[in-house]
Amino acid sequence: MCPHYPTVTPRCSQATWELDVSEPNETFDIVILGGGSGGYAAALRAAELGLSVALVEKGKLGGTCLHNGCIPTKALLHAAEVADQTRESEQFGVKAELVGIDMAAVNSYKDGVVARLYKGLQGLLGGAKNITIVSGAGRLVAPNTVEVDGKRYTGRNIILASGSYAKSLPGLEVDGERIITSDHALVMDRVPASVIVLGGGVIGVEFASVWKSFGVDVTIIEALPRLVAAEDEESSKALERAFRKRKINFKVGKPFEKVEKTDSGVRVTIAGGETIEAELLLVAVGRGPNTAGLGYEEQGVRMDRGYVLTDERQRTSVPNVYAVGDIVPGLQLAHRGFQQGIFVAEEIAGENPAVIDEAGIPRVTYSDPELASVGLTEAKAKEQYGADKVKSYNYNLGGNGKSQILKTTGFVKLVRVEDGPVVGVHMVGARVGELIGEAQLIYNWEAYPAEVAQLVHAHPTQNEALGEAHLALAGKPLHAHA
Ligand SMILES: Cc1cc2nc3c(=O)[nH]c(=O)nc-3n(C[C@H](O)[C@H](O)[C@H](O)COP(=O)(O)OP(=O)(O)OC[C@H]3O[C@@H](n4cnc5c(N)ncnc54)[C@H](O)[C@@H]3O)c2cc1C
């Protein structure tokens, strides 16, 4: 049994613990370059459909999401929530005292979650008939061939899924000590006294939220005019209000100019000449496509600033070469990668899957408070349908029993086309990420407010807020004004 892939890995040599690939130019139905969310989802679905797959991974199966992204950050955010609940327990009549954050113990909890999921994934992939896992760095050396350590794997089809890396800015050198990215932040063994977070997007605000809960003095710097600027403006404003209340400092519309190291940390200068000092600078200015030097361009794959261009069926400009996940322009989310991977496997198998609607991909920011959305922002809907054809309704969580019990504030905002379906759902508040499942069904099934209004929502749940918002938009509000 191969230690990397503990269940069954085809042709795993006992002697060297390395893959024994004796024949050069082995041919598969699909060769996948990258075993992250996009790549491994494609492998699993293709194997289910009876296709033979070589899955090439140079690091750990599961990629960014499992090891450096979704899962470890959400574990930190949960530890942060426990810290806040302890600190604020007296308002619920519970006497508890927060005596400190033990980062070693937090990390061991987080790493335990990742390790269990990793083991499960290794079992799943290793145990799948038809999947050969190839350990090593791959390169596209012909339109149908990936080379790994001098060995060639030929695919009737190729899927590029090499993922992304944390970007920096010109003149901003990440040293991993005082100037760090999310990769470093996830393995820190201490709670810093103060942090500047450069970038008020999803990753930036999630780390800001964690650190504040751990007692850190946090300042976010964002060049755009608002935090989480891709979200509906009302969601950004609600997050900014909540962050102000939590004493998370932020400066929006203030591009970064320079950073200097000081005796005790860093000094950042922003547009206008203002300087801010802190122990650490987290660079969270987005993720770039991991495509350099992988041979894509040389093989004729059309690219734009490092991203691989595809059509709506994930086809690149080279026949039988597909691309999925973060290397394809659009939302950089794990579940988008999963869905694209499944799509391509089915496409190759001739199943003719339905094209993925990018706007129908749910988006959650797991800060405190959470933001969750699907579909179009109000501004986008007005652009698309005309301002006079779009109606919105904002249901305040103040009227929702469960939200009152949790002592959370926020809203559920619906955007609909006049006499038409709901085209956007935007939510802010504790735990609203858990409501996105229903919201995405409403959007993707093009439901009308009156249709959702007929559905019964359990009382008292936060889901009721979705029901109430639809009741109101259908002209029959219950615990709300029309
Ligand atoms: C801090 C952080 C938090 C995040 N939180 C969330 C979240 O809560 N929810 C969410 O949906 N998304 C989240 N994301 C985004 C999510 O992680 C990515 O969208 C997702 O991992 C993309 O999947 P992918 O398959 O495209 O790439 P990746 O997961 O990056 O996988 C690519 C894989 O390819 C491998 N590879 C690269 N080059 C080669 C090569 N030459 N040869 C062999 N293998 C190679 C890499 O080692 C890697 O394993 C987060 C990201 C970060 C950084």
If one counts every other C-beta atom within 10 angstroms of the C-beta of residue 21, the result is 17
* C-alpha–C-alpha distance, residues 304 and 242, integer Å: 38
pLDDT in tens, 205-263: 999 999 999 999 999 999 999 999 999 999 999 999 999 999 999 999 999 999 999 99
pLDDT attached to residue 2: 36
Distance from residue 37's CA to the centre of ligand 1 (Å): 6
Write the CA distances from 9 to 296, 312, 396, integer angstroms.
Answer: 28, 33, 53
Selection from 250, 169, 238, 163 nearest residue 205 by Cα = 250
Residue 305, burial from CB neighbour count under 10 angstroms (0-12, 13-18, 19+):
exposed
Average pLDDT over residues 11-16: 34
**Which protein residue's CA is at the shortest distance from atom 9 of ligand 1?**
70
Q: Read off the pLDDT of each residue in 272-294 and give the average, rounded to a whole number.
A: 98
Could you tell me if 41 and 131 are in contact, meaning their C-beta atoms sit under 8 angstroms apart?
A: no
Protein residue with its CA nearest to atom 35 in ligand 1: 34
5 has pLDDT over 70: no
Ligand 1, atom 5: closest residue by C-alpha: 70
The confidence score (pLDDT) of residue 480 equals: 84
Q: Is the pLDDT of residue 482 over 70?
A: no
> In this structure, what token pair is assigned to residue 215?
């007692």
pLDDT band at 4 (very low <50, low <70, confident <90, very high): very low
What does the pLDDT read at residue 24? 52
Q: How many angstroms is it from 471 CA to the middle of ligand 1?
A: 39
The mean pLDDT of 307-335, rounded to a whole number, is 98
C-alpha distances (whole Å) from 230 to each of 45, 204, 226, 337 are 31, 13, 9, 19
395 pLDDT above the threshold of 70: yes
- Residue 382: its pLDDT value, please? 98
Q: Are the beta carbons of 328 and 306 closer than 8 angstroms? A: no
> For 19, which DSSP code?
B
Which of 436, 416, 296, 422 has its CA nearest to residue 362? 436
Name the active-site residue from 67, 184, 459, 479.
Answer: 459
DSSP characters for 49-69?
TT--EEEEESS-TTHHHHHHS
Tens of pLDDT, residue by residue over 161-219, are 999 999 999 889 999 999 999 999 999 999 999 999 999 999 999 999 999 999 999 99
CA of 66 to the centre of ligand 1 (A): 8
CA 63 to centroid of ligand 1, rounded, Å: 5
**What is the DSSP track for 406-440?**
HT---EEEEEEETTS-EEEEEEEETTGGGGHHHHH
The yes-or-no verdict on residue 342 having pLDDT over 90 is yes
Instruction: Please calculate the CA angle 288-200-87 and round it to the nearest 5 degrees.
Output: 125
Does 17 have pLDDT greater than 80? no
265 Cα to the center of ligand 1, angstroms: 30
pLDDT over threshold 90, residue 147:
yes
Torsion of CA 121, 125, 127, 133, to 10 degrees: -130
Q: Is 163 in the pocket of ligand 1 (CB under 6 A)?
A: yes
Overall average pLDDT of the 410-414 stretch: 98
Residue 433 Cβ contacting ligand 1 at under 6 Å: no
Strands 303-304 and 307-308, by their bridges, are antiparallel
Which residue has the least CA distance to atom 13 on ligand 1?
70
pLDDT of residue 26: 86
- DSSP secondary structure string for all residues of 314-330: -B-SSTTEEE-GGGSSS
Q: Measured from the CB, is residue 372 less than 6 Å from ligand 1? A: no
Catalytic (active site) residue 459: yes
In the predicted structure, residue 12 carries a pLDDT above the cut 80: no
Environment class of residue 138 by beta-carbon count within 10 Å: exposed (0-12), middle (13-18) or buried (19+)?
buried
Residue 301 pLDDT > 90: yes
Which among 172, 186, 288 is positioned nearest to 221, based on CA atoms?
172
Domains of the chain in start order, with CATH, are 14-66+107-165+288-358 (3.50.50.60), 179-285 (3.50.50.60), 369-473 (3.30.390.30)
Using DSSP's 3-state secondary structure scheme, residue 253 falls into coil
Residue 105 has pLDDT above 50, yes or no: yes
What distance in Å separates the CA atoms of residue 142 and residue 67, rounded to the nearest whole number? Answer: 30
pLDDT at 1 over 60: no
- Ligand 1 nearest atom to the CA of residue 325, by list position: 26
Q: What is the pLDDT of residue 393?
A: 96
Identify the pLDDT of residue 370.
Answer: 98
What is the per-residue pLDDT across 353-377, written as a single tens digit (0 to 9) for each? 999 999 999 999 999 999 999 999 9
Dihedral sign for Cα atoms in the order 449, 452, 456, 457:
negative
Q: 21-39 pLDDT, tens per residue?
A: 444 578 999 999 999 999 9
Share of residues in the chain with pLDDT > 70 (%): 95
